[in-house]
Amino acid sequence: MNLLFAWRYFRAKKSTNAINIIAWVSMTAIVVGAAALILVLSVFNGFEDLVKSLYSTFYPDIKISPASGKTLTLSASQLKQLQTINGVHAFSLIAEDKALLENGDSRILAYLKGVDNNFSKVSGVGSRVEHGTFDLGTDDHPRAILGSGIEYALGVEADRALLPLRVYLFRKGTDLAADPTSSLSHEAMSTSGVFRIQQDFDDNYVITNMAFVKRMLGLQADEYTAVEVAVTDARQTESVRRQLNAILGKGYRVQTRYEQNQALYNVMGTEKWFIYIVLTLILVVAAFNMVGALTMLVWEKQKDIHVLKALGASDGLVQKIFLSEGLLLGLLGGGSGMLLALILCLLQRKYKLIPLQGDSFLIDYYPVKLVASDFALVLTTILVVALLASWIPARKAAAQAIELR
C-alpha cells in the first residue's frame, strides 16, 4: 500500500510548482551521479583489463624462482616430474641477469633474459614482435629480441642491424674486488627483432638464447635463475602451484601471476575504490536536494496525512509512504542513469566515440568493460543514499498529530 501512495504522490500535480522543480532536479542529479559512476568504473575496468593483458603477455601463469640467492638447481628427474604434473601445459627454463649492452658509443643497462625453445608456449612476447622475427639464435651465434625502448636507446634497427651488439655480464662465483677484468664476460650478439608490450618491459628487457646467457654467467648444466610455467586452464593455477611446492620443497619460491605483480593488483584495486568513493559524493549532494523535495512534499500532503491517521493509519505506515517516495526517486533516477551509461558504453565500444589524445598508446580510444557487480554496487549505493535522505522527512510526516478541520 505504501508503494501505491508513493507512486500517486510522485505523479500527482503539486499546488506549488517549486516542489515539482526540486523533485526533478534531485532526480536529475541522481541520474548524472549514477551515469558518472557506471561510466568511470567501466572505463577503469577497461584500462585495468588492458594493463592486466599486457602484464600477462610478459609474466607467466606460474614462476619458480630461488627462495634465496640468484640461481636454482633442477635435476633431470625434477624436470621430468614437472612434465607429469596435471595441469601443466609447458614450462620454459630461464637464465637472466642484468647486463651492459653496447652499440658504438651508446650503452645501456638491461635485463638479459635467456630462454629456451619452449618460451613461446608460456609467454606471449613472441606475438608482440613489432618488426623483425622472434629468433633466439644458438649458443655460438646468439640473436636477441630487443624491447622497443632498448632499441631506441642503443640507436639500432634490430631487424636490419649490420654490426652486432657487445654484451657484458659478471660471471657467477668470481671475486670482483680481486680482479674485475676476469670477472667480466663480454661477447657479441646479433639482433633479430623488436617487441613492444609496455614501457616497463620495453625499456628494460632483451630476450635471447638461454645457453648463451648461461655460458656468460658461468652456470652449471643444471643451474637456472627461474622456470616459467604455463597451465592448461587458469582454474588449475592454484592446484598446480600446490603440486609444485610439494615436489620442489622450501628452497624454491612458486608464485602465481597475481603474486608476481601483487603490488600492481593492490594499487588498481585501491584506485577503483577511491574513484567510487569520490563519485559517490555526487549522490550525497543529490541527497540534499531530495531532502528538500520530500520535506516540501510532506508540507504539501499534510491534509492527506491527517486523513490517513484519522482512518487508522499508524505512524509506521505514514513513515513507510514517504520512505518509499524517496526510494522511488532514487530507483527511477538511478535506473535512468545506469541505462544512459549502458547505452553510452555500448556506443563507445562499437564506434570509439571518445579517442585518447596522443599517439603513444597501444589503443587510440577509451576502453570500456561493463561489469554486472558495478551495476549492483551503484544501485545499492543509490538506494542507501535515498533511504537516508528520506528518513528525516518521513519521520516528520509520521510525527504529525491528527488535525482535521
- Counting residues of the chain whose pLDDT is more than 90, the rounded percentage is 65
- Per-residue pLDDT of 349-370, as tens digits, reads 999 999 987 665 667 899 999 9
Residue 90 three-state SS: strand
Asked whether residue 87 carries a pLDDT value surpassing 80, the answer given is: yes
State which residues form the domain around 245. Answer: 60-259
Of 215, 237, 259, the position where a domain reaches its end is 259
Of 213, 240, 259, the position where a domain reaches its end is 259
> Do residues 113 and 160 both lie within one domain?
yes
> Do residues 91 and 227 both lie within one domain?
yes
H or E stretch including 143?
Answer: strand 143-147
Asked whether residue 377 carries a pLDDT value surpassing 90, the answer given is: yes
Asked whether residue 238 carries a pLDDT value surpassing 60, the answer given is: yes
Question: Cα separations (Å) of 171 from 99, 116, 182, 218, 255?
Answer: 11, 20, 9, 6, 27
333-339 average pLDDT score: 96
Asked whether residue 132 carries a pLDDT value surpassing 90, the answer given is: yes
At 269, list the grid cell.
Answer: 584495486
Of 61, 75, 394, nearest in space to 239 by CA: 61
99-117 average pLDDT score: 96
pLDDT, position 403: 67
Domain count for the chain: 2
> Do residues 241 and 115 both lie within one domain?
yes
In one-letter notation, the amino acid at residue 288 is F
**Side-chain half-sphere exposure of 56, counting CA atoms within 13 A:** 13
> Do residues 328 and 227 both lie within one domain?
no
Torsion sign over Cα 57, 63, 66, 67: positive
Residue 11 lies in a domain: yes
> Do residues 65 and 150 both lie within one domain?
yes
Task: Determine phi and psi for 200, rounding to 5 degrees.
Answer: -60, -35
- Per-residue pLDDT of 23-74, as tens digits, reads 788 889 899 999 999 999 999 999 999 988 989 999 999 999 999 999 999 9
At 234, list the grid cell.
Answer: 587458469
> Do residues 181 and 307 both lie within one domain?
no
> Do residues 291 and 318 both lie within one domain?
yes
pLDDT, position 296: 83
Of 205, 184, 191, nearest in space to 108 by CA: 205
What does pTM read for this prediction? 0.82
> Do residues 304 and 188 both lie within one domain?
no
Query: Could you give the CA distance from residue 235 to residue 259 in angstroms, rounded to a whole number?
Result: 16
Residue 404 lies in a domain: no
Asked whether residue 175 carries a pLDDT value surpassing 70, the answer given is: no
Of 259, 276, 302, the position where a domain reaches its end is 259
Of 282, 287, 281, 383, nearest in space to 26 by CA: 287
Q: Lowest-pLDDT range, 62-71, 86-95, 246-255, 286-295?
A: 286-295
Query: Could you give the CA distance from residue 119 to residue 116 in angstroms, rounded to a whole number?
Result: 6
- Can you list the positions of beta strands (E) in 41-128? 62-66, 72-73, 88-103, 106-115
**Side-chain half-sphere exposure of 164, counting CA atoms within 13 A:** 12
CB 135 within 8 A of CB 199: no
- Per-residue pLDDT of 241-285, as tens digits, reads 999 999 998 999 999 999 999 888 888 889 889 999 998 988 888
Residue 405 lies in a domain: no
pLDDT, position 243: 95
Asked whether residue 402 carries a pLDDT value surpassing 80, the answer given is: no
Residue 190 lies in a domain: yes
> Do residues 42 and 165 both lie within one domain?
no
What crossing angle do the helices spanning 302-310 and 262-300 adopt, rounded to 10°? 80
